[in-house]
Amino acid sequence: MGPPKAVPSVCEPLYPPRRGVAAGPDSPPPPHRPPLLDWPHREHSGGPVSQQPFPFTFDVVAEDPATHARAGVLHTPHGDVPTPIFMPVGTKATVKGLMPSMVRDLGAKIILANTYHLAMRPGAELVAQMGGLHAWERWDGPILTDSGGFQVFSHGDHVRLSDDGVTFRAVDYDGSYVTWTPEENMRIAELLGSDICMQLDVCPGYPCERSYLERAVDLSSAWAERCWRAHTRPDQALFGIVQGGMDLDLRLKSLRRLEDIGDFPGYGIGGYSVGESHDVMFETLAPLAGEYMPRDKPRYLMGVGNPTTLVEGVGVGVDMFDCVLPTRTARTGTAFSDEGRLNLKNACHRADPRPIGEHCGCPACAGGFSRSYIHHLVKQREMLGGILLSLHNTRYLLDLMARARQAILDGRYGAFMAEYRDRLDGRRDF
């Protein structure tokens, strides 16, 4: 293994003018919140000194009487986000195949970007120079940036852990060795300028030996404290991440250590959907989210996008979800529906005049595109097929969470969850 090197700092960030600069009467509203000119860079001698943002709060507005489901509102500098919510993933500052205006028109309130990928290309300094993520990708709503920990640890044998951080070989880029520390992770997140950023953590796979899980919890907890100390941007919220695999005791240990570090404005739940079954996941997720996590903080189940898992996740108290699944499956010809997953490659759709969803409001269904036509596009590998299915799948998950929220407000989420589960029980792709 070659010598490690840190991600280089290419240039100092350049920021747009401070908020409040006069504009002409016909000027459009700015598409982003400008980064703060007086955002402090300071050294930390110790102690929990992270300045958490006043603009970020979370209100629980309703709780279901029969489950742990709750409806809430996230207040961010770029607008309010009703929960439960699904967040489309724009890994490299784009939801694949879709323009930002399309994603907004689908009903998305908040999107994701990935710190690791943007740090590697084009570099966080360039994004900051261009005005930050919001201005650069033309998205005027809230943005959450993942730490990139999951992507880093997906490098497998090319990863080396230490107390200081993680060294890995960027095999998906130029093959160079990179050392990433919690402090560097926070520096990059602050340059990107997202509304919410995540701590650097260790994400174990499944199955996993308990000794490695314990090490992952210890390192993630230590790195959370270092992220907390290094994080200085006052208009950005830093979330801690609960790890511990499928061991509830380790999950609770991780949670308690985060609570001891400081008053995180929200918590990610990492290390799920890494190879375990649905039942194994919920053996620990259900008590963790429903009984132990703070009531007044949003709970974010990371990297999960299966529709049934979303519905049951809401039932155990999860507020936020993200996943690449709706666009990734779209590119393979798969559509989500209340009938189950539809494989539009299958011959049974060749002469089907129906839309994917009879009552779906997405541009594919409301626009009159038939299953037959999309089948043709997918079979011929036409780009439009993946775009139409991406629009549909993303809208489906956004609508599913909107339906879930309304069921909570109506006090009938238990019935909603049972009806949805029963409808899909035993269904296979067709």
SS3 per-residue string spanning 81-144: EEECEEEEECCCCCCCCCCHHHHHHCCCCCEEEEHHHHHHCCCHHHHHHCCCHHHHHCCCCCEE
| Distance (Å, whole) CA 341 – CA 357 | 11
Cis upstream peptide for 84 (omega within 30°): yes
| Distance (Å, whole) CA 162 – CA 307 | 37
pLDDT of residue 172: 83
pLDDT of residue 328: 97
* Site of tokens 């689908």: 106
Q: Residue 262's closest CA among 313, 322, 199, 172? A: 199
pLDDT of residue 54: 58
Domains and CATH numbers, the chain: 51-323 (3.20.20.105), 330-419 (no CATH)
Q: Is pLDDT of 44 > 80? A: no
Q: Is pLDDT of 41 > 70? A: no
pLDDT of residue 427: 65
Q: Residue 364's closest CA among 80, 7, 105, 81? A: 105
Percentage of residues in the chain having pLDDT higher than 70: 86
pLDDT of residue 153: 72
Cis upstream peptide for 100 (omega within 30°): no
| Distance (Å, whole) CA 6 – CA 289 | 36
| Distance (Å, whole) CA 135 – CA 307 | 31
Mean pLDDT computed over 406-417: 99
Q: Which of 4-8, 131-135, 141-145 has the lowest mean pLDDT?
A: 4-8
Mean pLDDT computed over 359-380: 98
| Distance (Å, whole) CA 333 – CA 87 | 21
Q: Residue 346's closest CA among 334, 354, 357, 338? A: 334
Q: Is pLDDT of 279 > 80? A: yes
Q: Is pLDDT of 52 > 90? A: no
- Choose between 45 and 231: higher pLDDT: 231
From first CA to last CA, the distance across the chain in angstroms is 47
For residue 166, give every residue at least 6 positions away whose Cβ sits within 8 Å of its Cβ, in sequence order, or none: 152, 153, 159, 160, 179, 180, 200, 202
Q: Is pLDDT of 402 > 50? A: yes
Which residues are annotated as catalytic? 146, 322
| Distance (Å, whole) CA 214 – CA 247 | 10
If you average pLDDT over every residue of the chain, what do you get? Answer: 88
pLDDT of residue 28: 40
- Could you tell me which residues are beta bridge partners of residue 241? 268
Q: How far is CA 283 from CA 154, 251, 353, 388, 424, in A?
A: 25, 12, 42, 36, 21
- pLDDT category at 157 given cuts 50, 70, 90 is confident
Mean pLDDT computed over 335-344: 95
> Do residues 70 and 62 make contact, with C-beta atoms less than 8 angstroms apart?
yes
- Choose between 152 and 415: higher pLDDT: 415
- pLDDT category at 426 given cuts 50, 70, 90 is low
Q: Is pLDDT of 344 > 70? A: yes
Model confidence over 58-71: pLDDT tens digits?
A: 999 999 999 999 99
- pLDDT category at 50 given cuts 50, 70, 90 is very low
- Choose between 34 and 374: higher pLDDT: 374
